[in-house]
Amino acid sequence: MSEYRIHGATGDWEVVIGLEVHAQVTSKAKLFSGAATAFGAEPNTQVSLVDAAMPGMLPVPNRECIRQAVRTGMAIDAAINKWSRFDRKNYFYADLPQGYQISQLYHPLVGEGRIEIALDDKNPDAGTKAIGVERIHVEQDAGKLMHDQHPTRSYVDLNRSGVALMEIVSKPDMRSPAEAGAYVRKLRTILRYVGSCDGNMEEGSMRADVNVSVRKPGDAFGTRTETKNVNSVRFVMQTIEYEAQRQVDVLESGGTIVQETRLFDPDKGVTRSMRSKEDAHDYRYFPDPDLLPLELDDAFLEECRASLPELPDAKRARYEGELGLSPYNAAVLTAEGETARWFEALLDAAGSTVTAKAAANWVISDLFGALNRIGKDIEASPVTPAQGGELLRLIADGTISNTLGKQVFEIMLETGEGAEAIVEARGLKQTSDTGAIEAEIAKVLAANADKVADYRGGKDKLFGFFVGQTMKAMAGKANPGVVNDLLKKALDQ
Amino acid sequence: MGLDADASRTRMAVDTATVKRIAGLARIAITDEEAGRIAPELDNIMGWIEQLGEVDTSAVAPMTAVIPNMLRLRDDVVTDGGVREAVLANAPQAEHGFFAVPKVIE
């Protein structure tokens, strides 16, 4: 990937990007209360008196939320802090009944880690880049405000209030919109593998605060702006493109960048200043007196580590090294945990006669093609890994040809029947019965005596014609290798 | 004030401007007169707190609780919620199951 530059009137500018990703922790109950976290419930029905900040209510942390944040930290090679603490971040807003958010400023649960990103998803040879993660801390989400339901009122739903978030803070290590996009995608993949966040950006399970500054290459960091709550990979990239260009324009026309909070407008693709928040940056953090420090013992950490699945990078390396897949195929099959699980179940079902390469090619071209056509995710695939394995086995042992395999797969998609049953019921079994094939060859040669003469006179290319005619006569069920051999024999005698 | 603090430690005086700013952040309405009265009071208190800094505590771990308790953690089980009436009972205004507040929009 060539270096990303903004071409200004005064020369080229480099963009410096850091991301703070808020990821909703997968848990049944909230971070500090026993209310449910499920998405889409009736307003204010998943709110305890703790979440509504009634006087005298005390927060008690949910062990699972802590565990998931620790597992996430371990998955990015981060230092886990066995001693951490919760702080109050004080500000007033209608979606925050406590008047403060319980967060971790001074002593976060997870320290420095790193995430390896591919510099070009489509080209595995383009290499990777390590993006530093500064920290991960655990904090409460706020409630939800609705402004369009009433002319003069805003409506507040506290169902989300108190749901556990991980704030994953990167270092300012990214230098282009593409790198930032790759970082968010990779982080999402890791979170989904670990199972600590569902990564559903549409439902707000992952949102990013995008820090952008520009500088002349080699200069010190410029002043940054922070664009809040950007909720898709595409919008993160658009935010950076717009914001970097805006900053270059300001600087080149003699202005200065103000460190400020901005909002992204997805309809217009622009960012704009949130002037009202200027005063809100003084959060007057202090340790939450309702909560003792969080101390984790070795047994807890060991369980967290032992429960981690094989992670995307390790899996991709194994697919390349042990299974012999191409870097591209390995990357595609490991990009989503669901895909990798499906593929591995397929390999198990197919058995040793089917090569990993053949299975990978089939998943990526045939299965993905079909799923794409019917608009379904791999989790909702109408064909199961066991059924896929059966089909691949039939192709591998020569029962059906590749071409017939594709037809059988189409029938499987339509009917849900198994490959063997389809082959059996429709008589699609490929034959290596030399007698039957020889009989058809004799008929083909007799019906095309002129072409036989041409072939024998030196027109080698006609061989393909005879293969085609024979296969047609055999209704596609003849083993192509056997047909080739027998035809050669018949024509060359 | 009778404060005998280490001369090398400088403390920002709590003046009326600071009091008004903090009151603003805390959404507490105070008059100029009140701010004028509160500023020296707070300044005094800060002075007393500053006095604690005279004791060298560099080798002492911070005391986080007066009793040697560990933070208790809870299992991930839904045990609460479904009490919308109670949650909304004290709201000055509630409509359609929501709190209704003066419009706040960026």
Interface test with A, best of B20, B22, B87 (most A CBs within 10 A): B87
Average pLDDT, chain A: 92
Q: What is the mean pLDDT of residues A250-256?
A: 95
Chain-centroid distance of CA A214 in Å reads 29
Chain A residue nearest residue B62, CA to CA:
A293
- What local confidence, expressed as pLDDT, does residue B1 receive? 36
Q: What is the mean pLDDT of residues A59-80?
A: 98
- What local confidence, expressed as pLDDT, does residue A397 receive? 85
Q: What is the mean pLDDT of residues A435-441?
A: 84
Q: Is B61 on the interface with A (CB under 8 A)?
A: no
| Measured distance between the N- and C-terminal CA atoms of chain B, rounded to whole angstroms | 46
- What local confidence, expressed as pLDDT, does residue A402 receive? 84
- What local confidence, expressed as pLDDT, does residue A27 receive? 97
**pLDDT bucket at B36, cuts 50 / 70 / 90:** very high
Q: Which residues of A touch B87 (CB under 8 A)?
A: 44, 47, 49, 52, 158
d(CA B104, CA A182): 35
A282 to B84: CB separation less than 8 angstroms, yes or no: no
Q: Which residues of B touch A44 (CB under 8 A)?
A: 84, 87-88, 97-99
d(CA B76, CA A197): 15
d(CA A92, CA A75): 35
pLDDT at residue A124 tops 80:
no
d(CA A432, CA A478): 6
pLDDT at residue B10 tops 50:
yes
B96 to A279: CB separation less than 8 angstroms, yes or no: no
pLDDT at residue B99 tops 80:
yes
- What local confidence, expressed as pLDDT, does residue A257 receive? 93
**Structural tokens at position A286:** 């202090």
pLDDT at residue B3 tops 90:
no
d(CA A484, CA A480): 6
Distance from CA of B37 to the nearest CA of A (A): 23
Interface test with B, best of A24, A48, A283 (most B CBs within 10 A): A48
**Structural tokens at position A429:** 């079994």
Q: What is the mean pLDDT of residues B59-85?
A: 88
Q: What is the mean pLDDT of residues A164-186?
A: 97
Q: Given B25, B76, B87, which is nearest A284 (Cβ)? A: B25
Distance from CA of B56 to the nearest CA of A (A): 22
**pLDDT bucket at A265, cuts 50 / 70 / 90:** very high
Chain A residue nearest residue B95, CA to CA:
A155
A154 to B100: CB separation less than 8 angstroms, yes or no: yes
B69 to A292: CB separation less than 8 angstroms, yes or no: yes
**Structural tokens at position B40:** 């020296």
Task: Please provide the DSSP assignment of A45-80 as one string.
Answer: SS--TTTTT-TT-----BHHHHHHHHHHHHHTTPPB
Q: What does the radius of gyration of chain B's CA atoms come to, in whole angstroms?
A: 23
**pLDDT bucket at B97, cuts 50 / 70 / 90:** very high
- What local confidence, expressed as pLDDT, does residue A280 receive? 56
- What local confidence, expressed as pLDDT, does residue B62 receive? 77
Who wins on pLDDT, A330 or A461?
A330
Lowest-pLDDT range of A244-248, A268-272, A431-435, B72-76: A431-435
- What local confidence, expressed as pLDDT, does residue A277 receive? 54
A44 to B79: CB separation less than 8 angstroms, yes or no: no
The 10s digit of each residue's pLDDT in A22-61 is: 999 999 999 999 999 998 899 999 999 999 999 999 999 9
Chain-centroid distance of CA A215 in Å reads 31
Helix (H) or strand (E) holding A409: helix A402-415
B96 to A44: CB separation less than 8 angstroms, yes or no: no
Q: Is B48 on the interface with A (CB under 8 A)?
A: no
pLDDT at residue B2 tops 60:
no
The 10s digit of each residue's pLDDT in A362-420 is: 999 999 999 999 999 999 999 999 999 999 999 998 888 888 899 899 999 999 889 98
**pLDDT bucket at A278, cuts 50 / 70 / 90:** low
Q: What is the mean pLDDT of residues B49-65?
A: 86
d(CA A330, CA A321): 10
Counted across chains A and B, CB pairs separated by less than 8 A come out at: 136
Say which DSSP state B67 is in. Answer: S
- What local confidence, expressed as pLDDT, does residue A2 receive? 65
Domains of chain A (ranges plus CATH)?
6-303 (no CATH), 310-425 (no CATH), 434-492 (1.10.10.410)
Interface test with B, best of A28, A85, A91, A156 (most B CBs within 10 A): A156
pLDDT at residue A449 tops 60:
yes
